């Protein structure tokens, strides 16, 4: 349970003040919410770009592993030992739960 302090106390006056915001204050609140929404959308876009880069790198790593296994098998004259593959991805981020 979060601690309650002076700032979390609601009095009749503070409830009345919130309910009676004037138009300029409402526009200010609306603008601040729009700025926050824009920031969060930008954060999400950057995060998704990073996830796609990580997924691409994982694919490159798997290809390099397969190439190295093929070279080792060719040099030793043995069959290729398969490395365990990553779990299937059922969501857009690439992680399974």
Task: Name which residue leads in pLDDT, 40 or 94.
Answer: 40
- Residue 26 domain flag: yes
Q: Return the pLDDT at 61.
A: 97
pLDDT tens string 6-36: 666 666 665 566 667 788 888 999 999 999 9
Torsion angle defined by CA atoms of residues 85, 90, 95 and 97, in that order, rounded to the nearest 10 degrees: -100
Helix (H) or strand (E) holding 52: helix 23-76
Q: Is the pLDDT of residue 96 over 80?
A: no
Q: Is the pTM of this model over 0.75?
A: no
What is the domain range of residue 42?
Answer: 20-76
Percent of the chain with pLDDT over 70: 61
Residue 89 lies in a domain: no
Assess if residue 55 is contained within a domain. Answer: yes
């Amino acid at each position: 349970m979060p601690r309650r302090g002076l700032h979390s106390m609601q009095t009749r006056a503070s409830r009345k003040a919130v309910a009676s915001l004037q138009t300029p204050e409402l526009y200010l609140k609306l603008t601040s919410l729009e700025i926050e929404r824009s920031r969060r959308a930008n954060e999400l876009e950057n995060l998704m770009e990073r996830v796609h880069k990580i997924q691409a790198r994982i694919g490159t790593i798997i290809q390099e592993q397969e190439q190295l296994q093929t070279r080792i098998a060719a040099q030793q004259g043995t069959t290729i030992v398969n490395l365990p593959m990553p779990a299937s991805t059922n969501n857009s981020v690439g992680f399974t739960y």
